[in-house]
Amino acid sequence: MMDPSAFVKAELDSLFKAQGVSSVFLCGLSATACVLATYFGAMERGYTAFMVKDALMSPKAIHTDTLQETVESTGWTVMETLLKSARAGTE
């Protein structure tokens, strides 16, 4: 069985490490497959992983809802605050 994580057969981990990335925020289609596999793949590699609420889809909405309640997830307001803070720190 193939692992649908974005970390598999890609240089994502080395790219993130080279850039000093420590946290990842995930969104996308197939929340119950690719996004979930990437979430666990990130955690296995030592990243703090979050799913972005209301930025995920899967074939059945109930599965997406359950997933968002089960894993560490965050909303848009938190994302905006973090991005503003990060930008302010680089200016």
CA atoms within 13 A of residue 89's CA, in its CB half-sphere: 6
List, in sequence order, the alpha helices (H) in 1-91.
Answer: 12-19, 36-44, 61-70, 76-90
Q: Tokens standing for 66?
A: 């359950």
The pTM score is 0.81
Q: Tens-digit pLDDT profile for the chain (91 aa)?
A: 678 899 998 999 999 999 999 999 999 988 888 999 999 999 999 999 999 988 899 989 998 888 888 888 888 888 888 888 888 876 6
CB 36 within 8 Å of CB 67: yes
Residue 16: what pLDDT? 96
Cβ atoms of 9 and 29 within 8 Å: the answer is no
Task: State how far the Cα of 27 lies from the Cα of 29, in Å rounded to an integer.
Answer: 7
Terminal CA-to-CA distance of the chain, rounded, Å? 46
Answer yes or no: are the C-beta atoms of 63 and 32 closer than 8 Å: yes
